[in-house]
Structure 1
Amino acid sequence: MKLTVWGAAQQVTGSMHLLETVNYNILIDCGLDYEKDTWLEENEQFPFLPSEIDVVILTHAHIDHSGNLPTLVRHGFDGQILCTPPTADLTELLLLDSVNIFLNKQRKARKSKRGFNSGPKPLYLQKHVMETVDRFVTIGFNKPFAITGNISLSFVPVGHLLGAAAAVFTVNENGSIKTVAFSGDLGRKNYPVLNDPEALPQVDYLVCESTYGGRWHKATKSVEELLTETVNEACIKSPGRLIIPAFSVGRTQALVYSLNRIFTKGLLPRVKVFVDSPMATYATDIFRKHHPLLNQEAQDFYKKQGDEFEFENLEYIQDMNASKAISNYYEPCIIISSAGMLEGGRIQDHLYYNISNYYCTILFIGYCAKGTLGNRLLRGDPIVNIRHRELSVYATIKQTDLFSGHGDHNDLMNFVKHQQPSSLKKVFLVHGEISSMESFRQSLHEEGYSAEIAVKGETYLLD
């Protein structure tokens, strides 16, 4: 059996791993790689023949794990894509959104260059997404699935996102039984709505993400305590507005549920809440559809109070006219809108009208990459460009990592430490910056594990 890491090797995006057994090729994840300026061109080509891949295993819906599946299909892959039911639904939603992003980039480029053929060609179109979705075969958690007579697969819940799973393979190769697991992205304990990550069974090899290697979440307050304090300062003590940029899938649902709990407990007077993201509305319906997979706290809340994602004074905004009308709402309010890094989307309209407002607070609940508007605000730039206009920053800027869906260094270590060092032959580290990987590897070595930072394109023999 052979393992080749073709993506998320010493970087975070573009997860793609090839597991080769006797006469059978398994691709684990097929995500978009955003690391280079030429990322569209980079994602167009594969280092193997897509037609020679027998099956794809998708650990979860995020675009850095799922986003290049339609390209794979377009280039000749005609096998099944195995994933959990929520992952199938969320992936369809995110892939269709990717098409819109591609087309918007092309339209903007054509407009600026005044040429019909100018601009980046979309990686794929809606028809390719639908061809991809047709290949989904869904499998429940912890239910062994026979891929072939010699290969079985189990999905183990890992938190992080609704439906996210580690993929555990049992392979009978020439009479020898081997087990190999791929962590996908690991969540953290006590995250709103989601279950805690589960321990894996003992395996021979583990391919593990390392996003937060060497980093720890600052957990001096709970999610509810932080939100209560922030809403109180921004909307109650002073009649202002709180703007929270949040990714539509996962973060928004965690936010809405947490606010629901705060208002239901009477910790604060009810404040008007706008969720201004059509995709967040669709994603929330998917969370409702798969309600039995939410954590016990959410299940109990539902039995006593009803829908976790619906409450008095909450309004989901769909059309653009309703979105623009929010700027004329002069009472204290909370606005939750995508995108999390402020690069496009309706959130830029809200910032345009509020960034110079002394009575506005902007709370960042996610990572903002260098070069983004979100990053410029977090580093304290006094003037920023929004909608081609230079605006002074008078709004209060805050940040928290309590809504991060990734487990930190301790969570990663605890995940691996369920394995016996004497039985786990090797841990391959992927999906992280090199400094995070080095820190994680060092900690694993100190605990007696054999760990290696995977190199892109290098093939490892799994004896």
Structure 2
Amino acid sequence: PYNHEFEPHKAVRCRFRDAGHTLGSAIIEIWVSEYGLATKLVFSGDLGQSGRTIVREPAAIDEADILVIASTYGNRQHTSLAATEDKMIELIEQTLFERSGNVIMPAFAVGHTQEVIYHLQRLTREGRLQPAEIFVDSPMATDAMHITRKFIDLFDDQRKHLAGRLAWDKGWPHLHFTESIEESKTLNQIRSGAIIISASGMASGGRVLHHLKTLLPNPRNSVVFAGFQAPGTRGDALVNGVRIPANVNVHSG
């Protein structure tokens, strides 16, 4: 659990703190005593953004002698949540209801997919987004959805109530989960009105590849990347327009 110290060795104390990145992500504080001197090490992978949905804010660490931390977004400013939502609404409305196409959203199975579903459902409930059929096409993402639903107590306090009202499982009529490869391929036969959320988030593998191959050439459809695209990945190439026709609609959040 978070915020409880333990001693894996008589000269070492450790404590996990909430990293606010995905459900269960942690920063670890380590105090090492050697030759009468104490040294504090702090290690973390990615840290969550302030004000994100679902997960709590990252814990504040007051001090460290040695700090090791991931720096995926260390050299850039994030777009505000409000601006990101407005852009997503515009892209979805244009694609589904003006061009009668489909939206393909490559998304990481754990954490990212759950946040996307949260936003889509909330925006629909608020009347800011017209109802659309949402398909989660990733077995790992489906499993992660059910696990997330079981641990609402780890959500941000301000969002527990809303999260309890949202359908993270098969209780919402517009949310569908595909399991088999055959079901996944059938999604490509939908002519319009669908949001297909599929892994992997950088389009480096997974079921999203056959959706891109089938649906991307049609100018009525759009691909929306909402997550980080590492240099050299297929997602990065698509976002930067490498080797794709000019009429293909690719967007990044």
- Find the counterpart in structure 2 of residue 395 from structure 1: 248
What is the aligned counterpart of 1:307 among 152, 160, 167? 167
What is the aligned counterpart of 1:283 among 132, 137, 144? 144
- Find the counterpart in structure 1 of residue 27 from structure 2: 166
SS in structure 2 at match of 1:168 = strand
Q: Post-superposition shift, 1:220? A: 7.7
Q: Which runs of 4+ in 1 moved over 4 A?
A: none
SS in structure 1 at match of 2:120 = helix
Cα separation, partners in 2 of 1:343 and 1:220, compared to 1, 3 Å:
closer
Cα shift readout 1:394-446 (whole Å, capped 9, x = no counterpart): 3311111xxxxxxxxxxxxxxxxxxxxxxxxxxxxxxxxxxxxxxxxxxxxxx
Aligned-pair Cα RMSD in Å: 2.1
- Find the counterpart in structure 2 of residue 83 from structure 1: none
Q: Post-superposition shift, 1:188? A: 0.8
Structure 2: distance between partners of 1:352 and 1:202: 49
The answer as to 2:199 corresponding to 1:376 is no
- Find the counterpart in structure 1 of residue 73 from structure 2: 212
- Greater mean alpha carbon deviation, residues 337-346 or residues 251-260: 337-346
- Find the counterpart in structure 2 of residue 176 from structure 1: 37
Cα separation, partners in 2 of 1:208 and 1:306, compared to 1, 3 Å:
closer
2:242 aligned partner, one-letter code: D
The answer as to 2:95 corresponding to 1:252 is no
With structure 1 as the length reference, what TM-score do the two structures score?
A: 0.51
Matches for 1:346-357 after TM superposition, within 5 Å: 346-357=207-218
Cα shift readout 1:326-384 (whole Å, capped 9, x = no counterpart): 1222231101011122222111111111111111011111233344332332222354x
- Find the counterpart in structure 1 of residue 86 from structure 2: 225
- Find the counterpart in structure 2 of residue 295 from structure 1: 156
1:181 aligned partner, one-letter code: V
2:241 aligned partner, one-letter code: G
Structure 1: distance between partners of 2:2 and 2:51: 19
Q: Post-superposition shift, 1:278? A: 0.7
Structure 2: distance between partners of 1:300 and 1:207: 35
**Structure index of larger Rg:** 1
SS in structure 2 at match of 1:181 = strand
* Structure 1 unpaired stretches of 5+: 1-139, 384-391, 401-463
Cα separation, partners in 2 of 1:342 and 1:184, compared to 1, 3 Å:
closer
Mapped contact 2:132–2:195 kept (Cα < 8 A): yes
2:77 aligned partner, one-letter code: W
- Find the counterpart in structure 2 of residue 146 from structure 1: 7
- Find the counterpart in structure 2 of residue 435 from structure 1: none
Cα shift readout 1:135-181 (whole Å, capped 9, x = no counterpart): xxxxx011111212232110111112221111101233344333221
Structure 1: distance between partners of 2:247 and 2:180: 29
Cα separation, partners in 2 of 1:269 and 1:167, compared to 1, 3 Å:
same
SS in structure 1 at match of 2:9 = coil
2:251 aligned partner, one-letter code: K
Structure 1: distance between partners of 2:88 and 2:72: 25
- Find the counterpart in structure 1 of residue 132 from structure 2: 271
Mapped contact 2:139–2:179 kept (Cα < 8 A): yes
Q: Post-superposition shift, 1:285? A: 1.9
Mapped contact 1:245–1:342 kept (Cα < 8 A): yes
Q: Post-superposition shift, 1:206? A: 2.2
* Structure 2 unpaired stretches of 5+: none
- Find the counterpart in structure 2 of residue 133 from structure 1: none
Structure 2: distance between partners of 1:399 and 1:332: 20
Mapped contact 1:157–1:164 kept (Cα < 8 A): yes
2:181 aligned partner, one-letter code: M
- Find the counterpart in structure 1 of residue 198 from structure 2: 337
Q: How many residues align?
A: 252
Structure 1: distance between partners of 2:47 and 2:77: 14
Mapped contact 2:93–2:130 kept (Cα < 8 A): no
Structure 2: distance between partners of 1:302 and 1:340: 23
Cα separation, partners in 2 of 1:393 and 1:337, compared to 1, 3 Å:
farther
With structure 2 as the length reference, what TM-score do the two structures score?
A: 0.90
Cα shift readout 1:295-347 (whole Å, capped 9, x = no counterpart): 124312034x2434552211011111111111222231101011122222111
Percent identity (aligned): 32
Matches for 1:38-49 after TM superposition, within 5 Å: none
